[in-house]
Structure 1
Amino acid sequence: MKLSEVKNILNTVEAVNFKLEDGSMVPEHFHVTEVGVVSKHFIDCGGVVRKEHKANFQLWDANDFEHRLKPGKLANIIGLSEKVLGMEDLEIEVEYQSNTIGKYSLAFDGKDFVLVNMQTACLAKDACGIPGEKQKINLVQLPTANSCTPGGGCC
């Protein structure tokens, strides 16, 4: 999800709620402790230099049980980040504490923002010798020429 999509959603919702893919909710007294830009400059295993820029939200579950982040307040924080940091309309990555700091992409289910689990991946599969995904076909699609048939005497 891009930053512009979050801003549009914040204009339509009454509350800001986050939940994990398993349906468990981020406690409603969470804080957004950071909104920023994360830049990554790296070389993949195939030797290709890459750059990646993402908008970053950090969620923190404090013991401030009376805290509730309103949509307008988060929109103001995002606006300030755009102005001060020159933040562009980037894909959003969310950091949230689980066993360690977890990184999630962001979706919206019509009511709540959803922290979507992210996976690592090889960016240079061809250079690593990782085979491509095998094409799946139904057995009925296999050619029947030169194949055994019941009673054909080939077995």
Structure 2
Amino acid sequence: MTLEQIKKILPGLSNVEFQLENGTFVPEHFHVTEIGKVSKHFIDCGGTVRNEEKVNFQLWNADDTEHRLKPGKLLNIIRLSEEQLGIEDLEIEVEYQETTIGKYDLDFNGKHFILKNKATACLAQDACGIPTEKEKISLQDLEKKVISCSPNSGCC
């Protein structure tokens, strides 16, 4: 989800609710403690230099269980961050702490914002020597291959 997308969704909501993919909700007394632009300049394992920019939202739970962030307030925080930090329409990444700080992609299911699990991946698979997919073979077929392989056939 991008910044423009969340700005279009917020005015139609009565509450701002975040839910993890496992169905657990972020406690309703959360705070958005930061909105920022995060730049990542890095080199992948294949030697390609890359740049990545995202808008970062940080969610935090405090002991003030009466706190409720309303859609208008979040929209004002977003607008202030755009004005003060020059944030553009980028993908949103959310930081939220359970046992450790996790980073999540953001989606919307029509009622709640969904914190989508992120996964690592190799960006240079062709340079890493990682096979794309292992050949799947049944044990019966494997037995036939072994039986048909003779010492001088070049298959061993």
**TM-score category (smaller protein):** 0.7 to 0.9
Partner of 1:15: 15
When normalised by structure 2's length, the TM-score is 0.85
Partner of 2:65: 65
Cα deviation 1:7-40 (Å, max 9, x = unaligned) = 1110111110001001111000000000000100
Cα deviation 1:112-139 (Å, max 9, x = unaligned) = 0000000000000000011224699xxx
Partner of 1:100: 100
Amino acid at match of 1:87: I
Equivalent-residue separation in structure 2 for 1:115 and 1:134 (angstroms):
32
Amino acid at match of 2:60: W
How many aligned residue pairs are there?
136
Partner of 1:141: none
Q: Does 2:54 align with 1:54?
A: yes
Runs of 5+ consecutive residues of structure 1 not aligned to the other structure: 137-155
Equivalent-residue separation in structure 2 for 1:43 and 1:70 (angstroms):
40
Partner of 1:31: 31
Equivalent-residue separation in structure 1 for 2:103 and 2:135 (angstroms):
31
Q: SS of the residue aligned with 1:54?
A: strand
Equivalent-residue separation in structure 1 for 2:128 and 2:111 (angstroms):
42
Partner of 1:139: none
Cα deviation 1:20-73 (Å, max 9, x = unaligned) = 001111000000000000100000000000000000000001111110000000
Q: SS of the residue aligned with 2:75?
A: helix
Q: SS of the residue aligned with 1:11?
A: helix
Q: SS of the residue aligned with 2:65?
A: coil
Structure with more helix by fraction? 2
Partner of 1:116: 116
TM superposition shift of 1:98: 1.2
Pairwise CA RMSD: 1.2
Partner of 2:5: 5
Runs of 5+ consecutive residues of structure 2 not aligned to the other structure: 137-156
Q: SS of the residue aligned with 2:39?
A: strand
